[in-house]
Structure formats: C-alpha cells, structure tokens
Amino acid sequence: MFIKIFQSLFLAAMLAVPAWAIDSAPAFEDPVLLARYDNLTRQLRCLVCLNDSIADSNATLAGDLRHELREQLASGKSDDEVLKFMTDRYGAFVMYKPPFEARTWVLWLGPGIFLLGGLAIAIRIIIKRAKLPIEDNDSNNSSEGDIA
C-alpha cells in the first residue's frame, strides 16, 4: 500500500518537473514551436555563466535571450536565422557545439587522433608480444616487466 502511494507520488513528482521550468509560462502553446524553442535554448550558451545553456540559466541575460528567441520564433524566423542572429552578435562561442573551422579542428579531430594513436601503440605492443618465444609460466611472469 505504502509502496503504491510512494510510487505514484514519485511518478507525480517526476512528471511535475516541467512546472519548475525557468519561465513561469510555457513559451508556446503550439507544440511544434515549443519543441523548436526548447531545442534552440539548449543549443545556446549563457554567456554570463559559460557552462549553462540559456535553457538552464537564471541569469538576466539568458532571460533576455529567451525572450528574444520567443519573439523571433513567433514572428516566423527559421532556426538558422535565429542562430545567425545570435552568432552575429555573440560569435560562435554562443553555440554549445562549435563550428568546424581553422580554430576548432583540433577540438573536433583531437579525440580521433588520440584514439588512433593509442590503437597504433597497442597493436605494436601486441605484435611484439606475439613474437616472443613461448616460455613456461614461471619465467614468463618474471620477464613480463621488460616487454615494451
């Protein structure tokens, strides 16, 4: 019984999360516009707090940018137009996902380069080890530290 009540309370609390959204009223009645609005607010960085999107930030500037976003979407601007409006004013930094350009290629390709480098080293070591003569267990253990 108690578990049932707890479960339904928990479920209710989880479903009530949208009620704690930052702006008191939902941005749009229209679910399509609302989805676009939600998506855009998550793509844009709050420039005061740096590591929050404007969807998550309580900063006044983030509120102003959400307001701007709502008006532009309501007036029929496309997502690209809205994002261009923001990057024209705040630069690429306002986007959470930086564009691929001369300044950011290391950022985008770095992880892949490191992965390939690590893989190459691992393969080299494995091949080297495979070529070692097979010895009995005792001597193998003692020589393991020397393999590089």
Chain residues in the site for other proteins (CB under 8 A): 47-48, 50, 60-61, 64-65, 68, 87-91, 93, 148
Name which of 106 and 130 has its Cβ closer to other proteins: 106
Specify whether the CB–CB gap between 48 and 31 falls below 8 A. no
Name which of 28 and 85 has its Cβ closer to other proteins: 85
Measured between alpha carbons, how far is 148 from 144 in angstroms, rounded to an integer? 9
Phi and psi for 51 in degrees, rounded to 5?
-105, 25
Smallest gap from residue 86 Cβ to other proteins (A): 9
Smallest gap from residue 67 Cβ to other proteins (A): 8
* DSSP assigned state of 44: B
Name which of 8 and 89 has its Cβ closer to other proteins: 89
Rg (CA), the chain: 27
Residue 99 is encoded by which pair of tokens? 């564009």
Give Cβ neighbours of residue 71 (< 8 Å, ≥ 6 apart). Answer: none
Name which of 27 and 86 has its Cβ closer to other proteins: 86
Residue type, 21: A
Smallest gap from residue 90 Cβ to other proteins (A): 5
Smallest gap from residue 6 Cβ to other proteins (A): 44
